[in-house]
Amino acid sequence: MPGKIPIESIDSLRHKIPRDEARGMRTHVIVYASERILAQIQNDLSLEQAANVAHLPGIVGPSLAMPDIHQGYGFPIGGVAAMDYHYGVVSPGGVGFDINCGVRLVRTNLCEADVRPGIKQLVDQVFRDVPCGTGGSGFVKINAKQLNQVLTHGARWMVENGYGDERDAEFAEAGGALEGADPACVSERAKQRGLPQLGTLGSGNHFLEIQYVEEVHDAAAAQAMRLSKGQVVVLIHSGSRGLGHQVCTDYLAEMGPAMKRYNITLPDRQLACVPISSPEGQSYLRAMAASANFAWANRQAILHFLRGAFRKVLGEQVHLELIYDVAHNIAKREKYEVDGIKRDLLVHRKGATRAFPPGHREIPAEYRPIGQPVFIPGSMGTASWVMVGAEGAMRETFGSVCHGAGRFMSRTAARKGRDARQVQKKLEEQGILVRSETRDGILEEVPEAYKNVDEVIEVVHNAGLARKVARLRPMGVIKG
C-alpha cells in the first residue's frame, strides 16, 4: 500500500528504490522528482508499480519513473523500462491500452491578437470539424482495404491520400510510420472499433488546444522550430482510439495463459508479458506497430480537419505547419551503451516521451543542431511546454522524459463539489474558452486535478534530461 516502499535520495532530483531480491526485483528503481512531487506521488500506488516493473525478465538498467508519474495499470504512467531485445520480454501493459497516444504541435502564421477576437467562432468550428467521437464517427471515410494501408503506412498514407501536406509525415517520430507493422496481427474486432474512429480525438485526457507562446526560454531552439513570443500554435493530444485499445486487450488475454508456458510469474496480472523473441511477442510487436501507425494517421487526419477549420474562420492565407509529433505510449527498438557495452534494447515508454539529444540521426535535419522537440501538455487551465532532448537522457533514461503534468486527484474527487458551467466560466475569465462533448470531460480535467506542470518541467530541465524552450498558454480548448 502507499508509503511502504523504501526510497532513498541520491540528490535533490534523483531518488532510489533499492533492489529487493527477496521480493523478486531484478533491478532498482530511479525516480526523478522534487521533494514536493515525491510527497505527492507517495499518495497512490505509483512507486509500488515502478518497483513491480523491476521484476520483468531481461530488464536492463533501472526501472525509471518520471516526475509526472501516477498510478496506472501494471506499469505506472510516467514509467520507462528497457528490455534486452534478445533475452527480455515485451509487455503490452508497458505500452498501454492507448498505443501511440501522443502529441503533435502545429505552428500558425498568426499571433494572439489575430485569433483572440474571433476565438469563440474558431473554437466552435474546430469543435464541429474535429469530433471527439462520443457523438458520432470521424470524417475520414475509408474501407477495410484502405485501413490495412493505414496500418502499414501510417501518416504517410494519409498525406498521399489528400489528408495533409508533403512535409507532415517527415516531421513525426519514426516518420509517422513504424516499420514491421502487420495488419494481419490486428484482430477484425480491433479494425471494426477503429475504422469509424479515424479522425476523432477521443475523451478522457485527450484534447486539442489553441495556444500562444507566452515565454521563450531558448531563443536558438525556438528559432529552429520557427516559434516566437505571441505566436499561435495548436497542440493535439490523441492516440490509436478503439483500435489500439482492442489490440492491447486482445494480446493481454493471449499473454496471460502464455506466461505459464514461459514460466514467468509476476506480482501483477496487468504486467503480463512474453519473451520478445516468442511468436506471441513478435505478433504483438507487429500489431503494436500497426496500432502506432493508426495513431499517427489519426493525428494527421485531425491536423487536416483543423487546417480546414482555421481557413473557414480566418481565411485562406492561414498556414498551419507541423512542428513535430511524438509518441508517449510505445515500445521502440533502440541501441544504448549500458556500463560500456552497446546493447540492443526494447524501450517501453508508458506515459514517457522520447527525447533524443542534438546530433541524433533519427531527428529531422533541421532540428539536429538543437535536439528532438518534446511537447509536455499541462492541464487545461495552466500551460504546456516545448522542450528539446538533452544528453542526460541518453546517459540516464534511455532517451526518455516525462509526458505531462500527471494527475494527482482522482476523477471522482475532481467532480466533487464542482459545477461544469462554473469551471467553464472561471476559465473564460482567464481567457480560456472550453468546449466539451461531455460535462464530465470538463469537470474531471480541472486544472486542480493535476500536478503543477512547471514543477515537473523544472525537474526534467535541472536533471539535464531535456531543456526548456517555450511555455505555451491555452486560449481555446476542445475536450472529449
Residues whose CB falls within 8 Å of the CB of residue 241, separated by 6 or more in sequence, listed in order:
133, 193, 194, 197, 198, 200, 202, 294, 295, 298
Which residue from 282, 283, 438, 462 is in contact with other proteins, where contact means CB under 8 A? 438
CB of 186 to other proteins, least distance (A): 13
Rounded Cα–Cα distance for residues 11 and 16 (Å): 10
Restricting to residues 239-278, name those near other proteins by CB under 8 A.
242, 245-246, 248-249, 252-253, 256-257, 268-270, 272
Query: 397 — alpha (psi -120 to 50), left (phi > 0) or beta?
Result: alpha
CB of 391 to other proteins, least distance (A): 31
Rounded Cα–Cα distance for residues 400 and 377 (Å): 16
CB of 252 to other proteins, least distance (A): 7
Which residue from 111, 119, 338, 413 is in contact with other proteins, where contact means CB under 8 A? 413
Restricting to residues 52-81, name those near other proteins by CB under 8 A.
70-74, 77
3-state secondary structure of 477: strand
Q: Output the nine-digit C-alpha cell for 272.
A: 503480463
Count of residues touching other proteins (by CB under 8 A): 50
Query: 61 — alpha (psi -120 to 50), left (phi > 0) or beta?
Result: left
The answer to whether residues 320 and 307 touch, using CB atoms and an 8 Å cutoff, is: yes
133: contact with other proteins by CB under 8 A:
yes
44: contact with other proteins by CB under 8 A:
yes
Comparison of 77 and 158: residue with beta carbon closer to other proteins: 77
202: contact with other proteins by CB under 8 A:
yes
For CA atoms 456, 461, 463, 464, the dihedral sign is positive
447: contact with other proteins by CB under 8 A:
no
Comparison of 119 and 409: residue with beta carbon closer to other proteins: 409
CB of 134 to other proteins, least distance (A): 4
For the chain, give the number of residues. 480
Q: Taking contact as CB under 8 A, which single stretch among the options 211-219, 296-304, 305-313, 409-417 is the one that binds other proteins?
A: 409-417
Interface mask (CB under 8 A) for other proteins, residues 136-175, using x and -? Answer: x---------------------------------------
What are the φ and ψ backbone dihedral angles of 157, each rounded to 5 degrees?
-65, -40
Which residue from 62, 88, 154, 204 is in contact with other proteins, where contact means CB under 8 A? 204
224: contact with other proteins by CB under 8 A:
no
Restricting to residues 457-476, name those near other proteins by CB under 8 A.
none
Using alpha carbons, select from 34, 70, 288, 301 the residue that is nearest to residue 179: 288
3-state secondary structure of 151: helix
Is residue 153 annotated as a catalytic residue, yes or no? no
48: contact with other proteins by CB under 8 A:
no
Rounded Cα–Cα distance for residues 404 and 374 (Å): 11
3-state secondary structure of 91: coil
Which residue in the list 70, 304, 403, 461 is annotated as catalytic?
A: 403
CB of 248 to other proteins, least distance (A): 6
CB of 28 to other proteins, least distance (A): 24
Listed as own residue / partner, the contacts of 391-394 with beta carbons closer than 8 Å and 24 or more positions apart are: 391/357, 391/464, 392/463, 392/464, 392/465, 393/355, 393/356, 393/357, 393/465, 393/466, 394/336, 394/356, 394/357
410: contact with other proteins by CB under 8 A:
yes
Which residue from 58, 175, 281, 480 is in contact with other proteins, where contact means CB under 8 A? 480
Q: Output the nine-digit C-alpha cell for 204.
A: 478522457
Angle at 240 between CA 237 and CA 242, to 5 degrees: 120
Which residue from 440, 454, 455, 458 is in contact with other proteins, where contact means CB under 8 A? 440
Comparison of 116 and 411: residue with beta carbon closer to other proteins: 411
Q: Output the nine-digit C-alpha cell for 385.
A: 511546454
Which residue from 111, 119, 338, 409 is in contact with other proteins, where contact means CB under 8 A? 409
CB of 432 to other proteins, least distance (A): 22
Which residue from 19, 28, 189, 360 is in contact with other proteins, where contact means CB under 8 A? 189
Rounded Cα–Cα distance for residues 169 and 171 (Å): 5
Comparison of 202 and 399: residue with beta carbon closer to other proteins: 202
Interface mask (CB under 8 A) for other proteins, residues 325-364, using x and -? Answer: ----------------------------------------
What are the φ and ψ backbone dihedral angles of 35, each rounded to 5 degrees?
-60, -40
3-state secondary structure of 312: helix
Active site residues: 403
Site for other proteins, rule CB under 8 A: 44, 46, 70-74, 77, 96-98, 133-136, 189, 192-193, 196, 202-205, 242, 245-246, 248-249, 252-253, 256-257, 268-270, 272, 407-413, 437-441, 444, 480
